[in-house]
Amino acid sequence: MPVPQHFFADLPQGLRTLAAATPDAGPKLERREFLKLATASGFALGIFPAAAPAQTGSDEQAAAGALKPTQQPSAFVKIGRDGEVTITINRLEFGQGVQTGLPMVLAEELDADWSKVQGVHGNADPAYVDPVMGMHLTGGSTAIKNSYAQYRELGARTRAMLLAAAARRWGADPQSLRTQAGQVIGPKGKKLAYGELADEAMKMPVPQHVVLKDAKDFRIIGRATGRLDARAKSSGRQSYGIDMHLPGMLTAVVAHPPVYGSRIQSVDDAAAKAIKGVRAVLRVPSVWGGELVAVLADGYWPAKQGRDALKVQWDSSAVGKVDSARQLAQYRDLARRPGALKFDADVSALRGAAHRISAEYVFPYLAHTPMEPLNCTVRVTGAGKDARVELWLGTQAPGWEVATAARVLGVAPQNVRVHVQMAGGGFGRRANPRSDYVAEACEIARAAGASGIDAPVRMIWSREDDVKGGYYRPMHVHRAEIGFDETGRVVAWDHVIVGQSLAKGTAFEGFMLQNGVDTTTVEGMKEPYELPMRLSVHHPELNAPVLWWRSVGSTHTAYVMETLIDEIARTVKQDPVAYRLQQFGDRHPRHKAALQLAVEKSGYGKRQLAQGRAWGVAVHQSFDSVVAYVVEASVTEGVPKLHAVTAGVHCNLAVNPRSVEAQVQGGALMGLGMCLPGAAITFKDGQVEQGNFNDYTVARLTDMPAIAVHIVPSADAPTGMGEPGVPPLAPAFANAVASLSGHTPRELPFPKV
């Protein structure tokens, strides 16, 4: 059967541009054809670990009536004799709340006692692939969205097996029994706790088909629920990948070249080796070509001291050197002429339009800067092809890490085991198709073994390594020419985007880069407005590594679209909310509902703002969820200040409203961070100029405005919520600033107005 539109939903969102996803794309890919493509590219090991049982045999399994690994309760549910229910999640928990959300979904259908439920991470086993995408992945806000039906069915199957076990023990008809809060209840009030039945129940046949609850009967799903990991995190007891300790473990800190891909001319390691605790200085290959220098020591501090004592001469003569000033000039020049076409509307009406807007927007590189810097612990036991490899790290894509470790260490993929750890943030950085930091850790472990060191290796990046270490949200320049009439009807919109491709040079290039256009670059453009737009793209290639950043293309496209829509409304003297609602018509009920909810709850148009403050509005859909913001802002001595935010959210059914609220709050703060002075990565002579939070701005608690989050009620299956809170915040803020100053900020971070 053809690949459905949602098969690659949002890795990031642009992966939906498989041929099946857009009407103007080429031939549709069959699922098996994609698997062949992935295998041919050498990528199947990363995307589809143990692909044969997990995916390639799925058609045959279905024909034979067998359940797939992703449908087997035994891989996901463990019930102790004390009634404790342990639910394995097929995603990384790195702050988004999935280690509570997915257990809530399963526990609902299981009729578990929520007070006895806990969640744990899965690994790279075939059972834990995303059931829609067929790969091990936490990304694109897909965790709850793609596994909602899966985890409901897992819970219902487990419940049915418990009922069958109780019926056999009592000699009763299973239909005469019911469950409640971790117990099976039989005739005359007889009760058996799940813990008493668990061993017997898990030996029962797994039912093919189960009947799921009606949403009106939910007692866990839809209730604001505290996170299962909250106590450990708030008390300091939570362990992360960076906290890993193994007997005899050594810690590695790496000297990276200041310009990506530089080669080593010479290394003087005498001072490093003289530091107490340093065990070795190793030269290892880099994923960017050339070599790195790793200092291996008894702990992080001596390893860092050793790294800082190295005297390394780097040769960067053979690699490109990005310079932000030259790059901006190049991008501006490209933006003045059409590129590869995404939309090809007739824009000849620009010449006779009653009103014209000419706008250029500039967006800088952005770093991910999760609070837990990158790290990976590697243990190799045995030798040669029979060696066994274990990895400990917080990863969004354990299958990719299996493939990387197998390649670097020369072992079969089945000999690699990933122990997924809690991660302190990621925002896309821990889902790198090149597995750069994992490859680095494995190269160090290989070199250590070759030098006679038989010990596990924990590699840790410092904050400076993280900020300077590559993989940024790409820099973009947008140029728009818009013509519209006295009513605000757009008659022509000519738009050019310049920015590096995320897919270029990766295994995604074949289907994410369509006709010269990287789909992540243009996602969110034009939507949800009916516009006669000609949209084209330039993708320059530079020696600056790029990667998806939370909400991907929508980080810049939402800003451009929502500030320009606002500017059109102001030009024709229409209320920005009324103008948007008019544009939505009856075509976009979810946008309309989210915006109207934010407007109603904020008091927009009804409440008098304090002197010097103005309203700002924006609404945007990403990852199938809609977030609308109504904000209050002021400008003092040219510096914009955000005071209050009201959010209207349409994510269909909110499994855990408290997590939705937290994700929107965090997304809003991250979106605000894009606006703050210093929120930019810049290059000079090929080197990143920033190094830590003293010169790379992230939003802090003191920047947080008052924020209220309101969710549109819905019983429809959930959509993504990890990222949609980010994109509309900056344009809403900018629109308030424009109301006060008369000028829309055309670049991020905001210049002084």
Counting residues of the chain whose pLDDT is more than 70, the rounded percentage is 91
Query: Both 578 and 625 in a single domain?
Result: yes
Residue 63 lies in a domain: no
Query: Both 227 and 269 in a single domain?
Result: no
What average pLDDT does this structure show over 564-586? Answer: 97
Q: Are 134 and 54 in contact (CB under 8 A)?
A: yes
Closest to 286 measured CA to CA, from 256, 327, 312, 315: 256
With tokens 């409304």, the residue in question is 569
Query: Both 493 and 642 in a single domain?
Result: yes
Q: How many CA atoms lie within 13 A of 104 on its CB side?
A: 24
Q: Is the pLDDT of residue 429 over 60?
A: yes
Q: Is the pLDDT of residue 752 over 90?
A: no
Boundary (domain end) residue, out of 186, 220, 235: 235
**455 vs 170: CA distance, rounded Å:** 55
Residue 465 lies in a domain: no
Closest to 140 measured CA to CA, from 553, 746, 697, 575: 553
Residue 397 lies in a domain: yes
Query: Both 547 and 445 in a single domain?
Result: no
Q: Is the pLDDT of residue 432 over 60?
A: yes
- pLDDT for position 507: 86
Closest to 47 measured CA to CA, from 139, 109, 118: 139
Q: How confident is the model at residue 567 (pLDDT cuts 50, 70, 90)?
A: very high
Q: How confident is the model at residue 753 (pLDDT cuts 50, 70, 90)?
A: confident
Query: Both 656 and 686 in a single domain?
Result: yes
What average pLDDT does this structure show over 421-436? Answer: 97
* Domain residue limits at 267: 241-318+374-460
For position 397, which CATH number holds? 3.30.365.10
Rg (CA), the chain: 27
Query: Both 137 and 204 in a single domain?
Result: yes
pLDDT tens digits, 628-649: 999 999 999 999 999 999 999 9
Alpha carbon distances (Å) from 374 to 229, 287, 464: 21, 16, 11
Closest to 531 measured CA to CA, from 575, 569, 561: 561
> What tokens were used for 584?
């939505």
Query: Both 629 and 716 in a single domain?
Result: yes
Q: What residues contact 603, with CB distance under 8 A and at least 6 apart? A: none
pLDDT tens digits, 271-282: 999 999 999 999
Query: Both 395 and 494 in a single domain?
Result: no
What average pLDDT does this structure show over 252-281? Answer: 97
**Average pLDDT, whole number, for the chain?**
92
> Which is it for strands 533-538 and 340-344: parallel, antiparallel or unpaired?
antiparallel
pTM for the whole thing? 0.92
Query: Both 259 and 301 in a single domain?
Result: yes
Q: What residues contact 370, with CB distance under 8 A and at least 6 apart? A: 94, 423, 424, 425, 426, 427, 429, 430, 466
Q: How confident is the model at residue 42 (pLDDT cuts 50, 70, 90)?
A: very low
Residue 403 lies in a domain: yes
Q: Is the pLDDT of residue 703 over 80?
A: yes
Evaluate the omega torsion of the peptide bond into residue 12 and state whether it is cis, within 30 degrees of 0: yes
Residue 310, sorted as left (phi over 0), alpha (psi -120 to 50) or beta, turns out to be: beta
For every residue of 474-517, DSSP letters joined together read: PPEEEEEEEEE-TT--EEEEEEEEEE--SSTTSTTHHHHEETTE
Closest to 296 measured CA to CA, from 177, 452, 81, 407: 452
Query: Both 148 and 162 in a single domain?
Result: yes
Residue 331 lies in a domain: no
pLDDT tens digits, 346-405: 999 999 999 999 999 999 999 999 999 999 999 999 998 889 999 999 999 999 999 999
Residue 64 lies in a domain: no
Least confident of 61-75, 210-224, 497-511: 61-75
Beta bridge partners of 252: 296, 459
Alpha carbon distances (Å) from 682 to 323, 328, 370, 395, 478: 8, 11, 19, 27, 18
Q: Is the pLDDT of residue 249 over 90?
A: yes
**131 vs 151: CA distance, rounded Å:** 10
Boundary (domain end) residue, out of 412, 440, 460: 460
Using DSSP, state whether 472 is helix, strand or coil.
strand
pLDDT tens digits, 100-149: 999 999 999 999 999 999 999 999 999 999 999 999 999 999 999 999 99
Q: Are 601 and 648 in contact (CB under 8 A)?
A: yes
- pLDDT for position 16: 35
Query: Both 97 and 199 in a single domain?
Result: yes
> Which is it for strands 311-315 and 263-268: parallel, antiparallel or unpaired?
antiparallel
Boundary (domain end) residue, out of 235, 257, 285: 235
Closest to 247 measured CA to CA, from 447, 458, 456, 460: 456
- pLDDT for position 65: 57
Residue 60 lies in a domain: no
The backbone torsions φ and ψ at residue 490, rounded to the nearest 5 degrees and listed phi first, read: -75, 125
**Number of separate domains in the chain:** 4
Q: How confident is the model at residue 471 (pLDDT cuts 50, 70, 90)?
A: very high
CA dihedral over 724, 729, 735, 736, signed as positive or negative: positive
> What tokens were used for 741?
């100053």
For every residue of 334-397, DSSP letters joined together read: HHTS--EEEEE---GGGGG-SEEEEEEEEE-BB----SS--EEEEEEES-GGG-EEEEEE--S-
Query: Both 113 and 6 in a single domain?
Result: no
Q: Are 471 and 545 in contact (CB under 8 A)?
A: yes
Residue 130 lies in a domain: yes
- pLDDT for position 561: 98
- pLDDT for position 289: 87
